[in-house]
Structure 1
Amino acid sequence: MSCIFCEIVDKKADAYTIYEDNYVCCFLDKYPINKGHILVIPKKHYQEFTDVDQNSLIQVILISQKITKALENILKTDGITIMQNNGIFKDVDHYHMHIIPRYINDGFSWVEPDVKVLEDDFVSLSKSLEQFLARGY
């Protein structure tokens, strides 16, 4: 299976790489939402967030924090959006974190649907999650 992000890691595809170490590779998004939009990926191929090994995941978060500080300083952002998508919602089947510089009135947004959740649903879900997490998953 061909993966454009694996090709970037292997230097078989071009990218504006800004940082890499043994665990992660960070590069400018080819189709940015705003100038300075950066992708942080584990060097090892994982499709989903839940599959990523602990060392790679730690590095993804730690370098995302450093990149965020750099972007805020260099680009004088009004804020930063950090996000990732799983399942059918991701555009590349290689786990990646987006770091997106944000500005007032930059046009980027997501629409929050008007979802009503009943109290019983909150109680039931919180208990189910608590039990699942207590089992050590």
Structure 2
Amino acid sequence: MDCLFCRVVAGEVPVETVLADDTVHAFLDHRPLFPGHLLVIPRRHVATLTDLTDPETGPYFTRVRLLTAAVERGTAAAGSFVATNNRISQSVPHLHTHIVPRNPKDGLRGFFWPRTHYRDAAHATDTAALIRAAL
């Protein structure tokens, strides 16, 4: 098994598990942004969000939602940041969702990358049209 997260699910890699059921395995990130930073992974190996099947999507994100609330309550955080990378910046090629507890003035500034702008309104309209066409 080459996949680190599949090895976690199999019990071959020790992690601090928060929830393990038939759908997900959720555990503390070993390099957290803040204490309580969780990784939620599907038990079945899928590389990206787009590889998750329709029947798997609802149960997966139901667990993400429940775990997000638990992270906020359990760490007494004012809020959270929930993110999933797809291929780019995905350190392990197994779908995983980060749940990071957040508080005002915690040092994180919005997203972890610089924000940009559309050239003009037409550029935004054209971009939205391309995405709608891809649906």
Give the TM-score of the pair, scaled to structure 2.
Answer: 0.88
1:59 correspondence with 2:67? no
Aligned length: 133
Q: Which amino acid aligns with 1:105?
A: K
**Percent of aligned positions with the same letter in both sequences?**
29
- Of residues 54-63 and 73-82 in structure 1, the stretch that sits farther from structure 2 once superposed is 54-63
CA distance in 2, matches of 1:49, 1:39: 14
> Hey, what does 1:117 align to over in structure 2?
119
Shift of 1:124: 1.8
Give unmatched runs, 5+ long, in structure 2: none
After TM superposition, the structure 1 = structure 2 runs for residues 1-137 of structure 1, keeping only pairs within 5 Å, are 2-109=2-109, 110-133=112-135
CA distance in 1, matches of 2:26, 2:55: 16
Shift of 1:125: 2.1
| CA deviation string 1:84-133 (max 9, x = no partner) | 11113111111100000012222223243333332222222222322332
CA distance in 2, matches of 1:28, 1:93: 18
Residues 45 and 75 of structure 1: is their aligned pair in 2 closer, same or farther, counting only changes over 3 Å?
Answer: same
CA distance in 1, matches of 2:99, 2:85: 12
CA distance in 2, matches of 1:100, 1:56: 23
- Of residues 36-45 and 15-24 in structure 1, the stretch that sits farther from structure 2 once superposed is 15-24
Give the TM-score of the pair, scaled to structure 1.
Answer: 0.87
SS of aligned partner of 1:95? coil
